[in-house]
Structure 1
Amino acid sequence: MIRKCRLPVLIVCILLLAAVAGYSVRRAAERTSRLDRPAQGGPAVLPGPVTLAGDAGRRVVFRNMVWGPHRDELASVPADKPTGPRVASGVKCLRFSAAAGTGICLQGEHGVVRDTYRAVVLDQELRERRTFPLAGTPTRARVSPSGRTVAWTVFVSGDSYTGTGFSTRTSLLDTEGWVLRDNLETYTVIKEGRPYKAADVNVWGVTFADDRTFYVTVATGGQTYLAAGDVASRELTLIHGNAECPSLSPTGDRVAYKKRVPGLPADAPWRLYVLDLRTMKETPTAEQRNVDDQAVWTGDGSLVYSLAGDQGTDLWTVRADGKGAPRRLLEGALAPAVLGR
């Protein structure tokens, strides 16, 4: 009798286990489906080709932050229809910049023991040209107007510009001969007309005038400076105080940057300013919120920068002349490049 009861009990147990397993699979699928779907009411994101070519029309290429299967991928929208459907490339980047058909994509690679990072130089169709290991967490990237020279900054210790316990490394790469200058802190700093040496010099946030001349942040002695860099002389000349993460205008006569304003909270100290390099006059923009980003010029006298949003970050825009009011340009987006004409 006992043996006869065992088989039905075994069958019942198997059916129960199958039901539980099926339920678990369905719940997991539902959770995955929710993660893969764009947020309700958010922009549509569709897979497709993304190009950096200059003749493809005026557009914005950026890191898509909308929750779903294309999060972190480079995506593109027409510059005159930024809220329209996005085309996602499949190429994932943490930081990105592009100019003249060259892209720089800073990526993370998850490991068993620790994460690693690499810089990937992309051609105009987002194909890999060359990769380089990074010494830390990606934070800034830029490409020169010609597309020949790229730059990146990583945190090698710490993970925020707001504190004092961080260190960065900034590199320049010539993509013609693949010559890597892997640490701009080896350049000579010129302060008040004389060479300046200190153990605490820190360099980050390149913006290019051309393949020889650039601007960058130099920090030393508890202060930050806007510095003019020269590749040929290997010098960084300090030209203006209290400036971080510069961005040179397309006309080369103005620099946007984040400035520490006295009286603001220690964890949100920055406002977005613009410096006229001819007169050295500063102008605050109309953006009154904390901007911890390296802004991008749009070509029409406006700036684009990131602020926290429901999906991580949104891109906002404001006029560089201090007039007008900020407005949101792109929901769920980061690290933009404004391309084409």
Structure 2
Amino acid sequence: MTLPPLSLRARIIALTAATAVLATVAVGYTVAAADGDGRSPESVAAPGLTLDSAPGLYHAARKGNVRSAPYSSSGTGAADGARSRNTGLSCDRFYASGRSAVCIASHPGISQKTKVNVLDRELNTRKTVVVGGIPNRARVSPSGRMVAWTLFVSGDSYASSSFSTRSGILDTRTGYLVKNVETLQLYLEGRRYHAPDVNYWGITFADDDNRFYATVATKGKTYLVEGDITTWKARTLRRNVECPSLSPDGTRIAFKKRVREGAKNPWRLHVLDLGTMRETPVAETRSVDDQAAWLDDSTLAYALPGRAKGTSDIWTVPVDASAAGPRLLLSDASSPSMVVAGG
């Protein structure tokens, strides 16, 4: 499929990657600032540092260095100067939850490759999956069993001028790997649907390690889908939902909604109540091109472009639009995920 129009920055990245020898590459579709520093994504974690010994807000700092910073929902924490700790990992995208973490990093070359490194709570690599494309999104289920990623890829016959996406899922317990979730049996608005331009991205998992949500796009439209790993089926729930992120209590989806056409400021963050299907915009009015992360049941974190070219900052906003507005949490950072001691 041809995805909805990208931002100018993303479009330039995509075209450069598609037409040139990929000696260097941007980290992806969003504002992440990782540009690589020569370290392998398999770099071992700092001695003694684990998800349990260094809980907090994990993020990719400048050059993709993954760090952990203390965070408190009371308003103190990373943005107030708390010292962060370097994990020793270098990733374009990072996410941690439960007993696992995932680090995805691009390996530029004539044939663009990405390494998906699945880590344990000691941040040691348990499994590596090599896939084609440019890193875009990463998620881990609440237990840490299921891992998902989304990449930008080129070469699909139906994507004449824009990148398409490729999403994969790994079951860390059984080792079962799906490199392309487009094999899902899709039911669009109640009917079995087949089309060559179907693309999925932005997977987020429920706490049963079976149900998941994602965006599916076809014929220029985007939909929220609910998928079932056991039956390998997915059904659309709602139109105009991108990059869903399931709340810790499993009742709400944070997502970016297209509110205007074109590439200039097209999205706004919303929260969807899965029980009532009522959506509400959050207090962040800037266009967010990211898969927001839940820091707790009432707070979202996401990346926005920083002041310096090629950088990004992590911001937070309450899901209650009547509460306080956005707050800068970390400068020169992207890929937020909240880790608690003990998983």
**Fold similarity call, TM over 0.5:** yes
Task: Flag structure 1 segments of 5+ consecutive residues without an equivalent.
Answer: 1-35, 37-46, 66-70
Runs of 4+ in 1 over 4 A off after TM superposition: none
Match of 2:154 in 1: 157
Matches within 5 A, 1:45-194: 49-53=48-52, 56=53, 58-65=55-62, 71-80=63-72, 81-82=77-78, 83-111=81-109, 113=110, 115-157=112-154, 165-194=162-191
More relative contact order, 1 or 2 (CA 8 Å, 6+ apart): 2
| 1:130 counterpart SS class | strand
Higher helix share: 1
Q: Is the 1:153–1:168 contact (alpha carbons within 8 Å) kept by the matching residues of 2?
A: yes
Q: Is the 1:49–1:88 contact (alpha carbons within 8 Å) kept by the matching residues of 2?
A: no
- 1:332 and 2:332 correspond: yes
1:201-240 deviations in Å (ceiling 9; x for gaps): 1111100003100000000111000000100111110001
Q: Is the 1:48–1:88 contact (alpha carbons within 8 Å) kept by the matching residues of 2?
A: no
| 1:298 counterpart SS class | strand
Q: Is the 2:314–2:329 contact (alpha carbons within 8 Å) kept by the matching residues of 1?
A: yes
Task: Give the number of equivalent residue pairs.
Answer: 283
| 1:134 counterpart SS class | strand
CA distance in structure 2 between the partners assigned to 1:208 and 1:242 by the alignment: 19
Matches within 5 A, 1:233-244: 233-244=231-242
Q: Is the 2:249–2:297 contact (alpha carbons within 8 Å) kept by the matching residues of 1?
A: no
Instruction: Tell me which amino acid in the other structure corresponds to 1:175.
Output: T
CA distance in structure 1 between the partners assigned to 2:238 and 2:161 by the alignment: 20
From 217, 226, 233, the counterpart of 1:219:
217
The Cα shift of 1:337 comes to 1.1
| 2:182 counterpart SS class | helix
What is the root-mean-square deviation of aligned Cα atoms in Å?
Answer: 2.0
Match of 2:294 in 1: 297
The Cα shift of 1:191 comes to 1.6
From 281, 284, 287, the counterpart of 2:281:
284
CA distance in structure 1 between the partners assigned to 2:146 and 2:89 by the alignment: 21
1:109-140 deviations in Å (ceiling 9; x for gaps): 345x4553210011112111111101100100
From 255, 258, 265, the counterpart of 2:256:
258
Q: Is the 2:282–2:318 contact (alpha carbons within 8 Å) kept by the matching residues of 1?
A: yes
Residue 340 to residue 195, structure 1, CA distance change in 2 (3 Å): same
Match of 1:321 in 2: 320
Task: Flag structure 2 segments of 5+ consecutive residues without an equivalent.
Answer: 1-36, 38-45
CA distance in structure 1 between the partners assigned to 2:339 and 2:113 by the alignment: 30
Q: Which has the larger radius of gyration?
A: 1
The Cα shift of 1:193 comes to 1.8
Match of 2:202 in 1: 205
Q: Is the 1:104–1:120 contact (alpha carbons within 8 Å) kept by the matching residues of 2?
A: yes
Match of 1:268 in 2: 265
Residue 313 to residue 49, structure 1, CA distance change in 2 (3 Å): farther
Instruction: Tell me which amino acid in the other structure corresponds to 1:124.
Output: R
1:256-304 deviations in Å (ceiling 9; x for gaps): 0000003x65242011000011111110011111100000011140100
The Cα shift of 1:64 comes to 1.1
Q: Is the 1:248–1:256 contact (alpha carbons within 8 Å) kept by the matching residues of 2?
A: yes
The Cα shift of 1:48 comes to 6.7
The Cα shift of 1:318 comes to 0.4
The Cα shift of 1:192 comes to 2.2
CA distance in structure 1 between the partners assigned to 2:67 and 2:338 by the alignment: 12
CA distance in structure 2 between the partners assigned to 1:48 and 1:335 by the alignment: 23
Indicate the larger mover: 100-109 or 224-233: 100-109
The Cα shift of 1:199 comes to 1.5
CA distance in structure 2 between the partners assigned to 1:107 and 1:303 by the alignment: 24
Q: Is the 1:48–1:87 contact (alpha carbons within 8 Å) kept by the matching residues of 2?
A: no
CA distance in structure 1 between the partners assigned to 2:197 and 2:290 by the alignment: 23
Over the matched positions of the two proteins, sequence identity in percent amounts to 46
Match of 1:28 in 2: none
Match of 2:30 in 1: none
Q: Is the 2:112–2:133 contact (alpha carbons within 8 Å) kept by the matching residues of 1?
A: no
